[in-house]
Amino acid sequence: MSYIANYNAAFPQFTVTDEILHPKGKMNKHAVSYVDEDIITLAFEASRNLDPNVDAIIFATTTPVFKDRYHASFLADLLNIPDGITALDLGTTTRCGTDALMLANTWVNGGKCKKVLIVAVDVRFPAIGKEVRTPFGHGAVAMIISKHKGLVEISNTASFSASMTEEFLYKGNKVQFDNRFARTTGFKNNIELALQNLDANTIDSLMVNSLYSKLALGILKKAGFDLDRQILPDTMISQFGHIGGAHGLLRIIQAIQDKKHTSVLIDYGNGTNVITINKTKSAIKPLMEEFENRTATPSYQDYLILRKQGKFERKGFVNLDHFSSEMMQVREKNQFIHLKGFECESCGTVYYMKAARCNNCRGISFNEKQLSSSGTVYSLTAEYYFPSSFPPTNMIIIDLDGGGRLTLQQTDDMYQNEESKINIGDKVELVLRKMMENDNKPNYFWKCKPI
């Protein structure tokens, strides 16, 4: 058997409600990435505090930022996982998150791997004017699948193919078949196949991850399920929107945090994945509480800036090809990305940048030291010249906990007021973001935000 040993999720600080997106919209929230966030930064944030000692990493997304380059191996390098492990990308449909879980489960059960990191993430924007018809949302979910006993046991998995799909993209254009025909031939028929091997009497809670889940209620009732007692409603979609390939894994987290013992996820998308889990521990960390205090975007215009519309498309706007040395990035990645600093052998003074001599004792010998990802603001300034969507760009000098000083940009600073303002002496944490909003190549580095 394999187990979900640990998990984490990452969501942007900002949300937008249906009420902002449309005059007749509701209060449902959509998590929306900041201008310096993408699937890489969200995937890293979800994975950074999980055990990096894994045999393999699987990266699932339907909104890739790279072509002809693995996101899995790129993320593994950011996490300081050594080269040479198995790294694999999955995509195509929103089932890719549970595809990754099922593949990891197979690898662990078959003895190929002892521990696998899976990450599912999507950053998808709907077409302008169609936002309220599309339950979109941005976020990432990461899980460690292990052969050692963990939070929940993955007791069974199955997958059922379907030739029919209700809608898809072809040559960049959306193709949608007649709803009455396609959802019967595709969704309903496939759900009936998935339910054939499920015994309602052995299941405490059942989840259907699909935009057409209401169409399954009659089928579930016919299969013997108590709709009021056994069906676990999707409470995540009203808080975050539907986060694409990661949403199936998010529903599994919802089930883990529920009080039920045996839960089944039916994850539909041009076919169905069925995953059964049994809770093995009663005390589960309340993960979603940390995402309650997010910032609501009050205007549609600000939402458009977040999604890089308007001025990002007007005539004369160009992406910046900033200075970047690939050799320097590789040579100095322990310092730039992994936050490895230098400690004076003689007096213990810690530096982010290696010095020829220690300023404190004039010593010349230094040892490598892992720096902290949190610290205290030493000084700051506002930069109005640096190009940004929400000027000014605040430059913060930080004294890291345990030693070391560095200068970083503040992030998540769309609304710069007394509540969001950073002051000298404030505690801040480091987060990985994109240095340039309109870049031509990957340029990930650390920024900071208030704790």
* DSSP secondary structure of 378-391: EEEEEESSS--SSS
Per-residue pLDDT tens over the stretch 35-72:
999 999 999 999 999 999 999 999 999 999 999 999 99
* pLDDT (0 to 100) of residue 62: 96
Which structure tokens are listed for 347?
Answer: 């007096």
Domains of the chain, first to last? 2-312 (3.40.47.10), 326-450 (no CATH)
Give 322's pLDDT tier (boundaries 50, 70, 90). low
Decide: 426 and 447 in contact? Cβ < 8 Å: no
Question: How long, in residues, is the chain?
Answer: 451
Per-residue pLDDT tens over the stretch 366-423:
999 999 999 999 999 999 887 788 889 999 999 999 999 999 999 999 988 877 789 9
Entry pTM: 0.94
Rounded CA separation 98/90 (Å): 10
The average pLDDT across 295-324 equals 74
Give 98's pLDDT tier (boundaries 50, 70, 90). very high
CA dihedral 100, 72, 81, 375 (to 10 degrees): -100
- With tokens 């959306």, the residue in question is 174
Rounded CA separation 451/448 (Å): 9
The average pLDDT across 217-230 equals 95
The average pLDDT across 230-244 equals 94
Which structure tokens are listed for 240?
Answer: 């975050």
Per-residue pLDDT tens over the stretch 191-222:
999 999 899 999 999 999 998 899 999 999 99
From residue 343, alpha-carbon distances to 9, 371, 376, 400, 448 in Å are 33, 10, 19, 13, 23
- With a pLDDT cut of 90, the percent of the chain lying above it is 71
Non-local (6+) Cβ contacts of 294 within 8 A are 11, 12, 13, 14, 15, 29, 31
* pLDDT (0 to 100) of residue 22: 84
Give 131's pLDDT tier (boundaries 50, 70, 90). confident
The average pLDDT across 411-440 equals 88
Phi, psi of 43 (to 5 degrees): -65, -40
